[in-house]
Every structure is written in structure tokens, then in C-alpha cells.
Amino acid sequence: MVGIVIVSHSWKIAEGVCDLAHEMAQGHEGIIPAGGLEDGSIGTDAQRIADAIVEADTGDGVVILADIGSSIMSAETAIELLEDEGNNINVVIADAPIVEGTVCAVVEAAGGGSVDSVLKSAEESREASKL
Amino acid sequence: MASEIYECLSKIAGIISENKDFLTELDREIGDSDHGINLARGFSAVMEKVNPEDADIGATLKKSGMTLLSKVGGASGPLYGTAYMEAGKVLAGKTELDAEGLKSAFEAAIAGIQKRGKAVKGEKTMLDAIIPAYETYSQKLSDGADMITALEAACNSAREGVEYTKTIIATKGRASYLGERSIGHQDPGATSSTLMLEAVLDVLKGK
Ligand SMILES: Nc1ncnc2c1ncn2[C@@H]1O[C@H](COP(=O)(O)OP(=O)(O)OP(=O)(O)O)[C@@H](O)[C@H]1O
Ligand SMILES: [Mg+2]
């Protein structure tokens, strides 16, 4: 099953989004938060994200959902750190809102979708109108 | 006696810590009030990782960059982290900075920042201090100047770059949310990178 990593500046957001996603995840266990810094402060930590990617991967690859600002830069850095270590997990970053994107991604992943289809579902959430 | 790279890092850490509140105040005006706090946390973690005996500049910069990636927390973490790691790659095995080594480290650092942040000159970022500093440094070397003279001139260009950031609109990073309202304020990252160059100059001059 494709793993999902939730990157946020805030660990509360990352864990909260994971909790929300678990409700629709049908037992999918590879939804891993990577929020804040080790000491709990607000920020992003490439090493923490790299560890979460490894934890989320079961061999089918990982899709990252990220919030604002340096989340994307740190996620890209994490992917490079893993590549430098010779770790070739198939990881992609979704260009999607973190809450809506995660829910869509998790449903697709739990249904057995590939990295490409999970990414597509996450990114399609951008188009969904709320009103 | 401490190695050259250790002295540089410890000087940088000291200057960042002295300017912590100033950098945070700059970031309060056009960002999220954390630049000084971020860098002070990052460099104090670096100082816990490095030792006065660490002589290999490349390996020490790599270790420092890895620490910055994870401990700074803001955009400047992956940006400076990548810069230090890329500079470390070109200085692998060296124990003393020379004029050409510093030039290629400069180039690698800028390329790393641009790979990570996809910004160019004129977007009100750290690059507006670092790129002019590099250009001046390499021009001075081709004119026959020695490393210290060239780096002194580079620091002047970096300071001019910081002044220039007051006149432009931010189009990258948090400050870009402010649009026109970012005019009139100097960029925190341009300021911190100038402080880092000044710290290195200080160490090289003192030798
Ligand atoms: N894309 C970029 N390229 C180069 N420099 C950048 C870029 N984005 C931001 N910066 C620099 O980073 C500085 C801000 O660093 P800081 O550590 O405060 O990050 P931040 O904006 O708070 O990060 P975050 O996105 O996590 O909130 C800016 O002043 C600017 O010089
Ligand atoms: Mg900031």
C-alpha cells in the first residue's frame, strides 16, 4: 500500500490531519505525521521527514502532503537525503491542500492505488468546490 | 589550537547569537518573527556537533549543513543547510581555505541555495547579498587581489545588497505574502548571510 507522509510546521496539524485521515483509511497503517521540530517547536525538519518516509514505505512508494512555506523545501531536501544514502523509495510531493489532499490520497491508497493514482487523487482535490 | 573551520563556525555562531533579536525583529516586519531564533537554535546545535580538532573543512561543513537542515526549522534551514553541504563537497579534504577554494565554495553554495529555493537575484532574499558578494570576490581575484582584500570587498557588496533589499518587493518566501508592503524593509536572510561572510573575514584576518 502506498504510504502517506503529512508534513506541517506544527506537530498538532500533522497529527490532527493523520487522525482525520485514519477515519477513512480502512486500517491503512502507513499514514505518518512529520510535524514541527524534535523539541516540539514550530518548523520543518528534513531529517524528521526522511525518517517518516522510511516508516511510511512498504515497498509501494510514498506520497507527501505538505503545508506552507519551507515544508516543500524540507520535503525535497528529505528526498535528496534518502537518495544520497542510496535509498530508492519512490517518493513524490503532491501539489495539493493538506487536509483535502490527504483525505483523497488516503482513500485512493487504501483502495490499493499506485503512487501515480494516489498523487492524482490528492491533486484533484484542488478542483473540488466547497460551496 | 582550534582548526580554521572550527574557528569560522564558532565565530558565525557567536555573531548569530549576538544578532538573534535583531534578525528576529527584521523577520517580524516582513515575515513570521523567527529568523534569529531559527538560526541561533541551528548554530548552537552545530556547535554541539563540531569539535576544535575537526580539521577537514569539507567534512565539517557537511556535518554542519546536516545539522542546519534539521534544527533551524524555517526556510533558512534547508537553504543554508544545502549551501553548507554543497560548499563542503568542493572543499572535501582541505584543511585551510585558499582564494580559489573559497571561490568554488561560494559558487557551490549559491548553486545549492538556488537548487533548493528556485529564486534569482532581485526577489528580496539572501541571494541579493550573496550573489553580489560572490561577483565582487571573483572580480577582485581576477584583478590580482589576495583572498582577504577580495573578501573585504565582497562584504561591502553584501552590505550594499542588504540595502538594495529595502527597495524591492519580495516574491519568494513569507515576505511575498506582503507584496508592496515588503518595500522599505531589509531582508532578514540577506542580513544573516552578510553577518556570516563578515565572520569568516574576521577569522581569516586574525590569522
Ligand atoms: N526561495 C528562497 N530562496 C532564497 N532565500 C529564501 C527563499 N525563501 C526564503 N528565503 C530567505 O529565508 C529568509 C527567512 O528565513 P526563515 O528562517 O525566517 O524562514 P521562514 O520564512 O520563517 O520559513 P517558513 O517557510 O518555514 O516559515 C528570508 O529572509 C530569505 O532571505
Ligand atoms: Mg521566518
Query: pLDDT tens, position by position, for chain A (131 residues)?
Result: 999 999 999 999 999 999 999 998 888 999 999 999 999 999 999 999 999 999 999 999 999 999 999 999 999 999 999 999 999 999 999 999 999 999 999 999 999 999 999 999 999 999 988 89
Q: Which residues surround ligand 2, an ion (CB under 5 A)?
A: B 27, 31-32, 34-35, 74
At B139-151, the pLDDT tens digits run 999 999 999 999 9
> Is B78 close to ligand 1, i.e. is its CB under 6 Å away?
no
Between CA B182 and CA B168 the distance in angstroms is 8
- List residues bridging with B38 in a β-sheet: none
Please tell me if residue B38 touches chain A, with a CB cutoff of 8 Å.
Answer: yes
Residue A64 backbone phi and psi in degrees, to 5 = -100, 135
CA of A68 from ligand 2 middle (Å) equals 12
- With CB atoms and an 8 Å threshold, state whether B77 touches A43: yes
Ligand 2 centroid – CA B27 distance (Å): 6
Distances (CA, A) of B71 to A92, B74, B102, B108: 24, 9, 26, 22
What range does the domain containing B168 cover? Answer: 2-204
- Ordered by start, the domain boundaries in chain A are 3-127
Note if A9 is an active site residue: yes
Q: Residue A45 is nearest to which of B34, B73, B82, comparing CB atoms?
A: B73
Question: What is the CATH number for B97?
Answer: 1.25.40.340
pTM, full prediction:
0.96
Q: Has domain A3-127 been given CATH number 3.40.50.510?
A: yes
Give the tens place of pLDDT for each residue, B60-99.
Answer: 999 999 999 999 999 999 999 999 999 999 999 999 999 9
| Ligand 1 touching residue B71 (CB < 6 A) | no
Tell me: the pLDDT tens digits for B13-27? 999 999 999 999 999
Out of B38, B41, B78, closest to residue A73 by CB: B78
Strands (E), chain A: 3-8, 31-35, 62-66, 91-93
* Residue A106 pLDDT: 97
Closest-CA residue of B relative to A50 is: B70
**Which ligand 1 atom is nearest residue B39's CA?**
17
Among B155, B153, B198, B159, which Cα is nearest to B15's?
Answer: B198
Ligand 2 centroid from CA B144, angstroms? 39
Look at residue A26 in the predicted model and tell me its pLDDT. Answer: 87
- ipTM for the whole complex: 0.94
Question: How many structural domains compose chain B?
Answer: 1
Task: Identify the pLDDT of residue A2.
Answer: 98
What value does the CA radius of gyration of chain B take, rounded to a whole number of Å?
16
